[in-house]
């Protein structure tokens, strides 16, 4: 297979149950919700959808359960321009679930049942190795078994497929996995867990990025929420600010950023342009509720960027 700018995303699929409350419940307390939404989510699926809607040529490796919601999600992924040939239905499992509280400040707290996502084993990943080998880039997160993430990274590395890791949710990772990663995109919390450096300033971000460079990662992007991102390319660091918008909820802000960023990079856009494109996509996403319902299409991102110039 030739490398033709193709993207493969490997990761999770969840159905999100989102309850908006004034504040998070304390232990033993019941709070009454103001709004409830069931929507498609999962970090892998959100990033795949962000890439599909922003124009990438993308194949998704993932698992759904043997249930109606899994079928519904698969159909939606197809509408989002994603090749679902490697989205497997796993017999005897249910599709992954995320229970999400969103408080009055737009912050969220999430609990997850992995369901079919736990069945995305190394054995399954190996079955899809031709897809990884033929892609220009592989984008992953950490809602899939860690062994499988490592297996996919090894296959990619062996075939000169760029490995991009969004290390979310936060966890410590082996040096072997980090050494196979070409680009990493932690938020501030994830950067701290990976490096031991609390990221509260640009100096901290530069120090955390240096630790990740020392592990063998060439490009580090530490996302800083509304402040944008710290980009460190082989030690050359700078903050690239995001766009000012009225945020409703930030669910899938990071996912949208990742999917849009890789799409732009695969179009050969220079890194700073690609980051700006990703900031625009994520800024639109935070003005809308939910995960995948909030992810913008290419035309919306282009219009948003155009308006910034007027």
Listed residue (292, 298, 295) closest to 283, CA to CA: 295
Q: Is 24 helix (H, G, I), strand (E, B) or coil?
A: coil
- Binding letters toward ligand RIB, positions 253-282, x by CB under 6 A: --x---------------------------
Q: Give residues 283-302 in contact with ligand RIB (rule: CB under 6 A).
A: 291
User: Nearest distance from residue 128's CB to ligand ATP, in Å?
Assistant: 26
User: Nearest distance from residue 166's CB to ligand RIB, in Å?
Assistant: 9
Does residue 252 bind ligand ATP (CB under 6 A)? yes
- Binding letters toward ligand RIB, positions 86-115, x by CB under 6 A: ------------x-----------x-x---
Listed residue (23, 303, 12, 255) closest to 149, CA to CA: 12
Q: Which of ligand ATP, ligand RIB, none sits in contact with 143, Cβ below 5 to 8 A by type? A: ligand RIB
Q: Which of ligand RIB, ligand ATP, none sits in contact with 133, Cβ below 5 to 8 A by type? A: none
- Interface with ligand RIB: number of residues (CB under 6 A): 14
Does residue 252 bind ligand RIB (CB under 6 A)? yes
- 19-58 in b/e burial notation, b at 16+ Cβ within 10 A? bbeeeeeeeeeeeeeeeebebbbbbbbbbbbbbbbbbbbb
Q: Is 151 helix (H, G, I), strand (E, B) or coil?
A: helix
Q: Is 255 a catalytic residue?
A: yes
| Set 16, 246, 255, 303: catalytic member | 255
Residue/partner pairs of 92-95 with CB below 8 Å, 24 or more apart:
92/66, 93/63, 93/65, 93/66, 93/118, 93/119, 94/65, 94/66, 94/67, 94/70, 95/13, 95/14, 95/15, 95/64, 95/65, 95/67, 95/69, 95/70
Q: How many CB atoms lie within 10 A of CB 231?
A: 20
Does residue 296 bind ligand ATP (CB under 6 A)? no
Does residue 165 bind ligand RIB (CB under 6 A)? no
Does residue 187 bind ligand ATP (CB under 6 A)? yes
Among 247, 248, 271, 305, binds ligand ATP (CB under 6 A): 247
Piece of 26-34, 67-75, 123-131, 275-283 that binds ligand ATP (CB under 6 A): 275-283
**Tokens 């980051």 — which residue?**
275
Query: Is the distance from CB of 155 to CB of 132 less than 8 angstroms?
Result: yes
Does residue 282 bind ligand ATP (CB under 6 A)? yes
Q: Which of ligand ATP, ligand RIB, none sits in contact with 243, Cβ below 5 to 8 A by type? A: ligand ATP
Among 145, 279, 290, 294, binds ligand ATP (CB under 6 A): 279
* Residue 18, H or E segment: strand 14-20
103 Cβ contact list (under 8 Å, min separation 6): 21, 22, 23, 24, 109
Residues classed as catalytic? 255
Q: Which positions lie near ligand RIB, rule CB under 6 A?
A: 14, 16, 41-43, 46, 98, 110, 112, 143, 251-252, 255, 291
């Amino acid at each position: 297979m030739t490398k033709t700018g193709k993207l493969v995303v490997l990761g999770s699929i969840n159905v999100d149950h989102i309850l908006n409350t004034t504040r998070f419940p304390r232990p033993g307390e019941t709070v009454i919700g103001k709004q409830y939404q069931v929507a498609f989510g999962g970090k892998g699926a959100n990033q795949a959808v962000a890439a599909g809607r922003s124009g990438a040529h993308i194949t998704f490796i993932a698992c759904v359960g043997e249930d109606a919601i899994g079928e519904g999600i698969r159909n939606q992924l197809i509408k989002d321009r994603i090749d679902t040939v490697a989205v497997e239905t796993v017999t005897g499992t249910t599709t992954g679930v995320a229970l999400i509280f969103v408080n009055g400040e737009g912050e969220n707290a999430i609990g997850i049942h992995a369901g079919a996502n736990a069945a995305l084993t190394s054995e399954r990943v190996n079955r899809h190795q031709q897809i990884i080998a033929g892609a220009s880039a592989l984008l992953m997160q950490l809602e899939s078994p860690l062994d499988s993430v490592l297996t996919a990274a090894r296959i990619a590395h062996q075939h000169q497929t760029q490995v991009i890791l969004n290390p979310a949710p936060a966890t410590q990772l082996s040096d072997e996995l980090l050494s196979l990663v070409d680009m990493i995109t932690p938020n501030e919390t994830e950067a701290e867990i990976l490096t031991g450096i609390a990221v509260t300033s640009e100096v901290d971000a530069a120090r955390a990025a240096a630790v990740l460079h020392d592990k063998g990662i060439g490009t580090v992007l530490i996302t800083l929420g509304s402040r944008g991102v710290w980009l460190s390319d082989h030690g050359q660091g700078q903050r690239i600010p995001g766009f000012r918008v009225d945020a409703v909820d930030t669910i899938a802000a990071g996912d949208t950023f990742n999917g849009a960023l890789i799409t732009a990079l695969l179009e050969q856009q220079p890194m700073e342009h690609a980051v700006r494109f990703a900031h625009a996509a994520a800024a639109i996403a935070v003005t809308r509720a939910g995960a995948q319902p909030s992810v913008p299409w290419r035309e919306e991102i282009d219009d948003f960027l155009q308006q910034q110039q007027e």
